[in-house]
Amino acid sequence: MILCSFLLLSSLALVGWAQSTNNTTTKKFCRNVPGDAGFPTTIQWTSLNASVSGRLVHVVPSVQFCKTLPGDTCTPQQLHSSVFRDEIPGAMNQVNWEQDYDSFPPSLCEPESRVCGQGNVPLFGVLAESASDIQAGVRFAQAHNLRLAIKASGHDYLGRSTAKNSLLISTHKLQNISFTDNFVVGGQSLGPAVTLGSGVSLQQMYAVTRAEGKFAVGGTAATVVAAGGYVQGGGHSSMSPLLGLVADNCFELDVVLADGTLVTANEVQNSDLFWAMRGGGAGSWGVIVSATFRTFPTFNASISTIILSTNKTESMAQVATVHAKHIFDRDALHAGQYFYLSRTNILQANATGSMVMNILTFFPNASVSQAAAALTPFLDDIRPIAGIDMQQSLVQANINDALFSADDSVGDNLVLGSRLVPASAYRNSPETVGQVYKQLLDGGATNILGNLVAGGKVSENANVSNAINPAWRTAKTHMILANLWSDSATIPEVHSNQTLFQRIQLPLLEVLSGKDSGAYSNEADILEKNFQTTFFGPNYAKLSAIKAKYDPNDLFIVGAGVGSERWDIEGICRV
């Protein structure tokens, strides 16, 4: 993969290259940006480059990067491949996070852009290959008062892995994987485990654990990094009803702190930091070098795929009601499920499109006949609904193979909003679920994504000491509204989509979830008005105190993260 050389630094004319955003008249405390007297000189950047063995690069948006390739472009297949984008330092899976819509004029770099701006993409990046590379980058950012961004893969629905006028530390090249049958902390054996570098994707993890006859809890996306934002946010999986959240299965973290020191965090060492980094939010604590997770003997699972389609909103609402009535049918088998509803042709002007609900259910350690029996009551109640077309398949596979993904389709403009829906909502009034679906669809919702990734072991793990929002322990599902727009959208249209969840969809979803249900911080709305409570529940005060201890100067600030209320939206100036 071709990277933009550090030699390009000299061409940027750093001093005066960009106007400072710092307001010297009000004397706010701000990070240094190009044009500020304290912004590093070319000589100082050269020194950093030498300290990381030439691994400092000029970072550009993904479309600009494509212009450095043969033919001066990327194919549509490449632009929509998470595996391809994972190799580009400045790329995010959702390209809207690379854009700066709010500057004047906007700074954009999209496939049809004649001139590419830097947008919301870091200026420079350390492509770390060791803990010492990370330490050098962190110490440089601290010494020069720079905005810092940390990125493992760019699979980040809240855009926290990128930041305007920042220094990026990329952990993508930290690819170490090691196994043990007896991981010990404080003299106590915790059992079999795998240690993963903070660049190892789930795709890679499943391939290696499969070969070892083992399994570690994870999701289905190819380029999610277990030892990154995934575990820090909590980490849900279709295997969570059986085995718990990823944060519940984490034994230890190796972390570079804001002062550049490398520490180990577990139940014995830096135990408060260990508590915070398992559920206390991605990007707020330090840079993970590696993480150790519990492993289980591998097993087979039966996988059901049911596709229900219709062009009638009333029929799809009935499907949602029936689904809610039967949501507890598979609890005895500890099944996890994704039930994703989407409209087709959603980016075409004035197109309503047909509605498709794709229901993917994983039955761990269950035979095909057991899975079929568990699904029968649901399917029997679906068949009488008018206007529903149904397709179904049921197979068995090794769980590593079942969750392995060769690639993910990404590269869109997309934002999310979400809520955790308590089990009581399904027990008390499944009809309300169908009513909420109908209201959301009538209101123009294009993607309603349901995740049955709670209950079972997630609830049983309420006594596990970590920073997981307690709302997870009483939840049954994690519900997401996804809103997309095309590259041709105007700035007002972009802003309308960015705020759609808070303005229109959240009040409808709260009819189902309740106003205090909480949300999963890794798949949520960065514009949450009360993110402290919504994402972290009663844990926020404790998290803030731990943040002050380990990062007193707020080097690690991300949108809707712990301490971010003290900073402007760009994380540049204190408010």
Q: What CATH number does the domain containing 261 carry?
A: 3.30.465.10
**Averaged pLDDT for residues 128-132:** 98
Same domain flag for 98 and 206: no
23-27, 33-37, 91-95, 452-456: the lowest-pLDDT one:
23-27
Decide if 572 is inside a domain.
Answer: no
Same domain flag for 352 and 480: yes
Decide if 20 is inside a domain.
Answer: yes
Same domain flag for 221 and 158: no
CATH of the domain at 34: 3.30.43.10
Percent of the chain past pLDDT 70, that is, above it, reads 94
Same domain flag for 317 and 214: no
Same domain flag for 147 and 213: no
Same domain flag for 375 and 498: yes
pTM over 0.85: yes
Same domain flag for 272 and 388: no
Same domain flag for 320 and 442: yes
Same domain flag for 27 and 44: yes
**Averaged pLDDT for residues 146-159:** 98
Decide if 543 is inside a domain.
Answer: no
Contact 90, 59 (CB under 8 A): yes
Same domain flag for 351 and 437: yes
**Averaged pLDDT for residues 222-238:** 98
Output the DSSP codes for 1-60.
-----GGGGGGG--TTTS-----TTTT--B-B-TTSTTSPPHHHHHHHHHHTTT-EEE--
Provide CB contacts within 8 A for 184, sequence distance 6+. Answer: 190
Q: Please say which residue of 170, 197, 228 terminates a domain.
A: 170
Q: Report the pLDDT value the prediction gives residue 111, as an integer from 0 to 100.
A: 86
Q: How many CB atoms lie within 10 A of CB 349?
A: 6
Q: Report the pLDDT value the prediction gives residue 3, as an integer from 0 to 100.
A: 45
191-210 residue pLDDT tens = 999 999 999 999 999 999 99
Decide if 570 is inside a domain.
Answer: no
Q: Report the pLDDT value the prediction gives residue 447, as an integer from 0 to 100.
A: 97
Decide if 198 is inside a domain.
Answer: yes
Decide if 480 is inside a domain.
Answer: yes
| pLDDT band per the 50, 70, 90 thresholds, residue 22 | low
Decide if 559 is inside a domain.
Answer: no
Q: Please say which residue of 271, 297, 323 terminates a domain.
A: 297
Q: Please say which residue of 267, 297, 327 terminates a domain.
A: 297
| pLDDT band per the 50, 70, 90 thresholds, residue 352 | low
Residue ranges of the alpha helices (H) in 484-539? 491-500, 506-513, 531-536
pLDDT score of 6 more than 90: no
Same domain flag for 427 and 326: yes
Q: Report the pLDDT value the prediction gives residue 112, as an integer from 0 to 100.
A: 80
Distance CA 248, CA 122 (A): 33
CA 278, 291, 546: angle at the middle one, nearest 5? 40
Same domain flag for 34 and 107: yes
Residue range of the domain that includes 162: 6-170
CATH of the domain at 454: 3.40.462.20
- Count: domains in the chain: 3
